[in-house]
Amino acid sequence: MVYAWTFIAATPPFQCKLPFDDSPLNNLTNQLISSYIPSETQCRETQKSISLKECQRCFQVVNNSDYNIGSISELSPCRSFAFDRAYYQSTIVEDWSMVCDRVSLKSTVQIVFFVGYMVGSLVFGVLSDKLGRRPIMGVSFILMFIGGIVCAIAPQDFIGHGTSYPLFAFGRFLLACATRGIGITGFVMGSEIVGPKQRLFAGIVIKYFFALGELLLLAFALHIRTWQTLNAVLAVVPVPFIFFYFILPESPRWLISEQRYDEAGSIFHHIAERNKKQFDPILYQRFVREDKKRVAANQERNHGCKALFHSKVMGIIAVNMSYQWFVQNLVFYGISQNTGAWLRNPYIAFGASALVELLAYFVVHLVLDRWGRKLTYCLFVLALACTALLVVPIQMVFPKDSNNQYILMFIINSALKFFSSGSYVIIYIYANETFPTEGRNTGMGVCSMIARVGAIIGTFSNDHLTRAWQHFPLVVYGITSVFAMLLATIFPETLHHPLPQTIADVERMGLACSFTRPKEKRNTHVNGSNDFGDDFLLKKSLADNADV
């Protein structure tokens, strides 16, 4: 649903529609087109705020018989447009003329979508910490289906553009809310139901399916070239997943944090049976007694946003992590939504982007448990920043629109997609391992909410900044990534550490700077740790569970 916008709102090549001409762009003669296209001199003299390409496709020469290059009055904004039908039969950009001075209509819909991301991240994040992971996922799948149907049926001629447009935007808002409810809650649930050794796999496998979902979307888009039909088909995809509510168990870690020990024990017992191992109820009861003592010793419980700023260390981590998410979403969505500029064929470009993303996830899977979270993340972000800033010397050295520049920009875009995908998934895993259980989904939700501001700016930069300079957004990505890499160096390393259950656990982790360094080493013994995995529940002796 996130990347469906790439095809639904694709902008095909276009020009001003000639007077009394209903032919599509690829049926017009080059001579006839060129007689109406403003010259380079006219554009530079009259439209200095936009690029030459944008001027020549958004303005036309009036009174062609009296053509005079030096006259400002001869340029007039296009009232209608002719679109190339080589790849798309119809897109929402063509149907609603979301180009030139109306490009803000396209940007506004996508901004509404990311506002929905923000709302869904915060609301569903807080609710899942209070009500549980499973019910929020169930509601989110239903909401996704409703949002998809609204987007598919909203644009109707008989109700007019004035009603269709806001209704379509509202459908996109619902889709975004649902996407966050599923994405964040599913990610957290997956990491909470496994032990430390399987945590990386649980986090990265979700991203594998995300990339495979992009390839599935590509298959749909290749066979369905009209945006409204594609929207309707995609709306039906979430329906089978609604029934997952009756299959998926609740997160046992969340149940224990809510002191619902019997329900958590039943889930652990079921997991042990499915793995053909023996569940030790005596060991589990010993853990329950220890956990009750811990709760009694720490009566103050923190839920919601309060948990994120309960202490200095927790507050620094929350603010810093929010900035990291802001930058990663700015870059990731800015690059991902511009894949059509990679190659002339948008379908091949999108497929290449998905494969590069899949490769990035695979590489992260290989190195993250070897190099650690912080080092790997900083290397990916630094490489991203350096690659993005390469666009400046390339523009200075190579002639504009030359083959060499075109090839180099394709390589740069591919590398940016690789590094942004890698850093994006790492920060997801890193944040999940840094926030405590009692505020994990809230922390992830707040970070995701702030991140959508970055996604909105990325969308805005693709639609507006590129009108001034095509590669302007890449420079922005490079500069913000440099600051992100520097700030990330103060995070604690979480590799092989138990998931923190309480804010006190996070404080013991500390930060990588002297004034916040923990005074005591974190205790990973069962009596002081609550990183529940199947290893802990299946061991016969407490002495054997040091890695849980």
**DSSP H helices in 132-225:** 133-153, 161-192, 196-223
| Average pLDDT estimate for 149-156 | 83
pTM, entire model: 0.74
Phi and psi at residue 117, in whole multiples of 5°?
A: -60, -45
d(CA 57, CA 97): 13
> Which of 45-59, 181-195, 501-515 has the lowest average pLDDT?
501-515
Predicted pLDDT of residue 381: 94
| Average pLDDT estimate for 456-472 | 68
Predicted pLDDT of residue 124: 86
Average pLDDT, the chain: 78
Instruction: Kindly state the tokens that stand for 168.
Output: 């379509």
d(CA 84, CA 89): 9
Dump pLDDT digits (tens) for 289-308: 887 887 776 655 555 566 67
Closest by CA position to 44, among listed 75, 13, 78, 79:
75
Closest by CA position to 303, among listed 130, 128, 508:
130
Does position 383 have pLDDT exceeding 90, yes or no? yes
| Average pLDDT estimate for 141-157 | 86
Predicted pLDDT of residue 543: 36
> Which of 33-42, 380-389, 445-454 has the lowest average pLDDT?
33-42
Does position 102 have pLDDT exceeding 70, yes or no? yes
Instruction: Find out if CATH 1.20.1250.20 is the number for domain 92-192+194-248+301-488.
Output: yes
Q: In the chain, which residues fall in CATH 1.20.1250.20?
A: 92-192+194-248+301-488
Phi and psi at residue 493, in whole multiples of 5°?
A: -80, 135
Cβ-in-10-Å burial (0-12, 13-18, 19+) of 265 comes to buried
Instruction: Say which DSSP state 409 is in.
Output: H
Percent of the chain residues topping a pLDDT of 90? 14
**What angle separates helix 261-274 from helix 281-297, to the nearest 10 degrees?**
150
Cα 129 from chain centre: 21
Percent of the chain residues topping a pLDDT of 70? 80
| Average pLDDT estimate for 123-129 | 83
Does position 63 have pLDDT exceeding 60, yes or no? yes
Does position 483 have pLDDT exceeding 80, yes or no? yes
Dump pLDDT digits (tens) for 162-219: 778 899 999 999 999 998 888 878 878 887 777 777 777 877 888 888 888 889 999 9
Closest by CA position to 322, among listed 443, 207, 440:
443
d(CA 394, CA 392): 5
Instruction: Kindly state the tokens that stand for 107.
Output: 């940007």
Instruction: Kindly state the tokens that stand for 192.
Output: 């909470």
Instruction: Kindly state the tokens that stand for 493.
Output: 């390393």
Predicted pLDDT of residue 516: 44
d(CA 285, CA 264): 12
d(CA 354, CA 218): 9
Question: What DSSP string runs through 267-293?
Answer: HHHHHHHHTT----HHHHHHHHHHHHH
d(CA 413, CA 433): 30
Our CA angle for 307, 311, 315, nearest 5°, is 75
Predicted pLDDT of residue 514: 40
Does position 99 have pLDDT exceeding 70, yes or no? yes
